[in-house]
């Protein structure tokens, strides 16, 4: 059903400042800077090998503007949404309805780029609460236009999303949605003894959804927590980030074997952020 994590959304109050900060983090420039006139939002997009990151701000009136304002009012700037790519929206709608979910018709979307005046179009499918599980998430199928991409990435720049971290209060229920309904491959289900936590690892489009269970007696609910970005050379990236004025921890061995990691401590707009190199 789901073919990819299409993109991640960070809600920001000041788009210009957020763009400057993420240019420093990524070591690249955005590939798109535009508006969604009907939604009342403006965005800046950074593209990597397997997904894109969208910085989104309110810029007028509309449903999108209200969602951004609500997110910022409640949490401040931060990771606000995850969007899943599908290849055949009509088939997805048919399947979800067959399984008993109340699904509305897909909504046409359009965005224009201020830099090139190009237009992209897509269909979005907004999901019922039992499938979004407290997250702002939806499904998307792009059908006209595409984002520019980089021909190559420097050794000191971010080149792909390694994993996104989601917290859940009910791992079994999460599996029922993401594996059984969304058909995303569950690669690993294990308990980390020294954290006393159950963790799930779902794999798709060369990235991982890492799920940490924090159980309670409430109804199933999830929340986005943080991001880990892959780099070719963590030493070179660490030097560049430090030169750019980004506060970053010392490099250390990661929990996963044959990895090196460092934590970004500034410029992330409240998104817990890790850089990682696979050796």
3-state secondary structure of 271: coil
Strand-strand pairing, 197-204 and 185-192: antiparallel
Based on the domain organization, do 17 and 117 belong to the same domain? yes
Q: Indicate whether 256 pLDDT > 90.
A: no
> Which of 118, 144, 170 is the endpoint of a domain?
144
> Which of 110, 144, 178 is the endpoint of a domain?
144
Give pLDDT, residue 17: 98
Q: Indicate whether 195 pLDDT > 80.
A: no
In-domain check, residue 75? yes
Based on the domain organization, do 187 and 228 belong to the same domain? yes
In-domain check, residue 59? yes
How far, in Å, CA of 279 to CA of 54, rounded?
29
Evaluate whether 226 touches 24 at the Cβ level (below 8 Å): no
| Main-chain phi, psi angles of 258, to 5 degrees | 65, 40
Beta bridge partners of 82: 8, 137
In-domain check, residue 172? yes
How far, in Å, CA of 239 to CA of 209, rounded?
28
| Confidence category of residue 270, pLDDT binned at 50, 70, 90 | very high
In-domain check, residue 183? yes
Based on the domain organization, do 244 and 270 belong to the same domain? yes
Give pLDDT, residue 194: 72
**What length does the chain have?**
279
Based on the domain organization, do 15 and 55 belong to the same domain? yes
Based on the domain organization, do 170 and 218 belong to the same domain? yes
Based on the domain organization, do 187 and 230 belong to the same domain? yes
Domain that includes residue 106, residue range: 4-144
Give pLDDT, residue 156: 97
Based on the domain organization, do 134 and 10 belong to the same domain? yes
CATH code, 266: 3.10.180.10
> What does the pLDDT look like over 142-170, one tens digit per residue?
999 999 888 889 999 999 999 999 999 99
Total domains present in the chain:
2
Question: Quick one: average pLDDT of 186-215?
Answer: 92
State percent of the chain over pLDDT 70: 100
Question: Quick one: average pLDDT of 242-267?
Answer: 96
In-domain check, residue 39? yes
Q: Indicate whether 48 pLDDT > 90.
A: yes
Based on the domain organization, do 137 and 163 belong to the same domain? no
Based on the domain organization, do 45 and 92 belong to the same domain? yes
Give pLDDT, residue 151: 83
Alpha-carbon torsion, ordered 114, 13, 28, 145, to 10 deg: -40
Give pLDDT, residue 227: 98
In-domain check, residue 150? no
In-domain check, residue 254? yes
Based on the domain organization, do 102 and 183 belong to the same domain? no
- Enter the tokens of residue 245: 């004025």
Based on the domain organization, do 58 and 175 belong to the same domain? no
Give pLDDT, residue 124: 96
Question: Quick one: average pLDDT of 203-210?
Answer: 96
Give pLDDT, residue 97: 96
How far, in Å, CA of 278 to CA of 258, rounded?
6
In-domain check, residue 90? yes
How many separate helices (H) and strands (E) can be counted in the chain?
A: 6, 16
Based on the domain organization, do 163 and 227 belong to the same domain? yes
> Which of 144, 176, 211 is the endpoint of a domain?
144
């Amino acid at each position: 059903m789901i073919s990819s994590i299409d993109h991640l959304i960070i809600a920001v109050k000041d788009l210009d400042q957020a763009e400057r900060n993420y240019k420093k983090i990524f070591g690249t420039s955005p590939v798109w800077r535009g508006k969604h006139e009907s939604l009342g939002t403006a965005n800046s997009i950074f593209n990597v090998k397997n997904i894109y990151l969208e910085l989104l701000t309110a810029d007028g009136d509309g449903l999108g503007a209200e969602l951004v304002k609500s997110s910022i009012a409640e949490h401040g700037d931060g990771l606000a949404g995850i969007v899943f790519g599908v290849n055949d929206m009509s088939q997805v709608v048919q399947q979800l309805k067959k399984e008993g979910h109340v699904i509305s018709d897909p909504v046409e979307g359009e965005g224009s780029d201020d830099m090139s005046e190009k237009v992209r179009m897509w269909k979005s499918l907004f999901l019922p609460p039992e499938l979004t599980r407290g997250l702002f998430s939806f499904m998307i199928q792009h059908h006209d236009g595409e984002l520019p991409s980089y021909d190559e990435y420097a050794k000191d720049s971010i080149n792909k999303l390694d994993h996104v971290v989601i917290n859940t209060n009910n791992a079994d229920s999460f599996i029922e949605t993401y594996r059984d309904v969304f058909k995303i491959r569950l690669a690993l289900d294990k308990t980390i003894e020294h954290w006393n936590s159950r963790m799930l690892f779902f794999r798709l489009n060369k990235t991982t959804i890492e799920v940490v269970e924090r159980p309670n007696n409430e109804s199933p609910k999830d929340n986005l927590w943080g991001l880990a970005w892959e780099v070719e050379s963590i030493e070179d990236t660490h030097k560049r980030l430090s030169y750019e004025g980004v506060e970053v921890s010392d490099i250390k061995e990661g929990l996963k074997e044959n990895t090196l990691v460092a934590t970004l401590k500034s410029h992330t707009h409240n998104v817990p952020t890790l850089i990682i190199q696979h050796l």
